[in-house]
Structure 1
Amino acid sequence: MISPDLPAELKAALDARLQGFSRNEAASRAAAISRTYRDGGGSGTIKSETDALAYALARMPATYAAVAASLNALVEIRPDFAPTSLLDIGAGPGTASWAAAQALSSLQRFVLLDANASLRALALELAGTRLREAHYELGPARKLLADAERADLVVASYMIGEIDEAERTALARLMWEKAGEALVIVEPGTPAGYARIIALRAQLIAAGAHVAAPCPHDEACPLEAPDWCHFSQRLSRSRAHMQVKGAEVPFEDERFAYVALTRTPIASHPSRVLAQPVVGKAEVTAKLCTPSGLSIAKIPRRAKADYARARRWRWGDAVTGA
């Protein structure tokens, strides 16, 4: 399992790019870009080197943490998965490729696709040793993807929310066609982000995909509105990150939703913890998605071994024997 924090090499590359760069200007641009994303916009507002670096400082750590957690979940369920090639759709500054390179040492070929020239330029500057030979293509995702070679692993992080429903449906079909074995989609952990994930999940299961994580089954999601499936990953904030975000605490909790799909069915699925368990003196209460549906597990203190194990459960964990 890889750490949710940016690799040392990537941190050093970002720090080097900050030399002579105004933190106040970066903070101002990061705030404007964040407002655009909250209002449903996308990366089209990132039009300069300053914009790209501000975006990377504000969003790269949290995006990396969410993708790392999603890939960790896939590897936990499929420890035999050893892809050699990656397609990173809507790659931006290369965040998902960095996470995949850390999580999967077997990867040798990296192809990144994005339409934003400023983010592509920054990604190439930050590439480092592991991604030095990566191929980064500039243009519309669907067109580039249609012409791309298949890859063992396809990743799309924080990008399907930037396109309309018809485009998402077409892009998802193409992503699955290009995925030799696995497809991982990560979105913000909001009801809207979850809805996009669930819609693509249903579309791709109908096309023959199998869910590896987080769901322990290929059936319809058992949650009912206003509930939604999402997870939280804590990550450290650097001093520069805190300055750009205007933050006072040295950590951040990134809420995200994801689905990891594979061509090979999962033989035996663990349950998934859907919220932080409540640990009481008499019992541990945990909300679980199980292979047979939603469950509220209550593990009594008198069952000492089970209780001790349940006390260690955390939101997002895959657990057995529940």
Structure 2
Amino acid sequence: MQLPAHIEEHIESMVRGIPLATLIKHFQQYSLSYRDGMSSQISLPSQMEKICYLATRMPATFGAVTAVFQECERRIGKVSSLLDFGAGPGTAFLSALELGWELKSAMLLEKSQEFIALGKQWTPSWVIWQKGDLVKLHAVPKSDVAIFSYSLGEIPEQNFKELLAKAWDATQKAIVIVEPGTPRGFKRILQAREYLIGLGGRVVAPCPCNAPCPMTNTEWCHFSIRISRSSLHRRIKHAQLGYEDEKFCYMILAKEEGSPCKERVIKTPQHVSGRIVLTLCTASGIQNKIVSKKEKDVFVFAKKTHWGMCF
């Protein structure tokens, strides 16, 4: 997974003439906050830090959201309108375009004027950008899908439910939430899940049903997507590999029944001596399923199965 070529080229053009040492310094300043889980969408006070974000975090955000949007389309069908709470530079909108969504309208809500200015450079003129603090929102338009992409973790506890209620009221098909694949990100996902189920939401992914999450206090439900690193990305991070694995949590809650999968693979399948061991989340809880070579068709399918897929 990687950013569209024209976006990568645009970011490359923005950093021309900036010393690499300067980029590395600003990258290090905000990356510590992300690793420590201090915020799901880092507060970036300077223009330089925003540029570093585009080069080093935007690809991972794009990859995670694209993977979740693919799942969203499988569960609720076509989407024609999008409402983004905390849009950053428009990453989720770009993911929707990359997947070929035929959007007729999109409103992107973002508090940073700098991110709005950047996002307007690569989003169509018909996209509506609205500047403002999410907790001070009043009316928002109806939309098929509302998304919180690495932004819900920024919302103060006292404003959390009120904002979710506004988003739910505006949603015609589903709310999509993506957070870092950390215990803290998962906790926020669970809080949103419980509250939205109380409003009538139906979980369509990744969970197979609305039952309480069976994960224990020592585990958290998260997934992974492999992200290609550009040359600039590698230089800023002092990275040798041409890729990185982005861990993320997500939840999709629909207004209607949708079509959740009955069993989801929640860990990397284990291949051992003619058998494949799958850890599955089911309506009855977490179960380990052993598939042997004797089950020919099932075994062939299990060999193609990976973490995050339906089984």
TM-score (norm 1): 0.91
* Residue identity matched to 1:89: F
More displaced, 108-117 or 200-209?
108-117
> Aligned partners of 2:223, 2:39: CA distance in 1, in Å?
23
Partner of 1:124: 120
Query: For the residues of structure 1 that align with 2:145 and 2:6, how far apart are their CA atoms?
Result: 23
Unaligned runs of 5+ in 1: none
Q: Is the 8 A contact 1:111 1:134 kept in 2?
A: yes
Deviations 1:58-94 (A, max 9, x none): 100000111011111112223xx22221111111111
Separation of aligned partners in 2, 1:13 and 1:132: 17
On the 8 A contact 1:269/1:291 being kept in 2, the answer is no
Residue 207 (structure 1) shift: 0.4
Out of 8, 15, 28, the position equivalent to 2:5 is 8
Which residue does the alignment assign to 1:199?
Answer: 191
Contact 1:83–1:153 (8 Å) recurs in 2: yes
Deviation at residue 100 of structure 1 after TM alignment? 1.8
CA shift in 2, pair 1:30/1:259, >3 Å: same
User: Could you say what secondary structure the match of 1:91 adopts?
Assistant: coil
The answer for the alignment partner of 1:158 in structure 2 is 150
Q: Select 2:23's aligned residue among 9, 23, 26.
A: 26
* 8 Å contact from structure 2 (residues 262, 283) kept in 1: yes
* TM-score w.r.t. length of structure 2: 0.94
- The answer on whether the counterparts of 2:30 and 2:42 sit within 8 Å (CA) in structure 1 is no
Instruction: State the Cα deviation string for residues 119-141 of structure 1 (Å, max 9, x = none).
Output: 222212233xxx33211111111
Report the CA distance shift for 1:154/1:104 in structure 2 as closer, same or farther (over 3 A): farther
Give yes or no for the alignment of 1:113 onto 2:109: yes
Of stretches 193-202 and 101-110 in structure 1, the one that deviates more from structure 2 is 101-110
Aligned match of 1:140: 133
Do 1:14 and 1:126's aligned partners in 2 also have CA atoms closer than 8 Å? no
Q: Is the 8 A contact 2:142 2:172 kept in 1?
A: yes
Paired positions, count: 310
- Cα pair 2:109 2:129 within 8 Å, conserved: yes
Q: Who is 1:253 aligned against?
A: 245
Structure 1 residue runs of 4 or more that deviate by more than 3 Å after TM superposition:
41-45
Gap runs ≥5 in structure 2: none
**RMSD (CA atoms):** 1.7
Say yes or no: does 1:103 pair with 2:99: yes
1:92 touches 1:116 (CA, 8 Å); kept in 2? Answer: yes
Contact 2:181 2:248 (8 Å CA) reproduced: yes
**Preserved contact between residue 203 and residue 260 of structure 2 (Cα < 8 Å):** no
Q: 1:236 Cα shift?
A: 0.5
Aligned to 1:73: 71
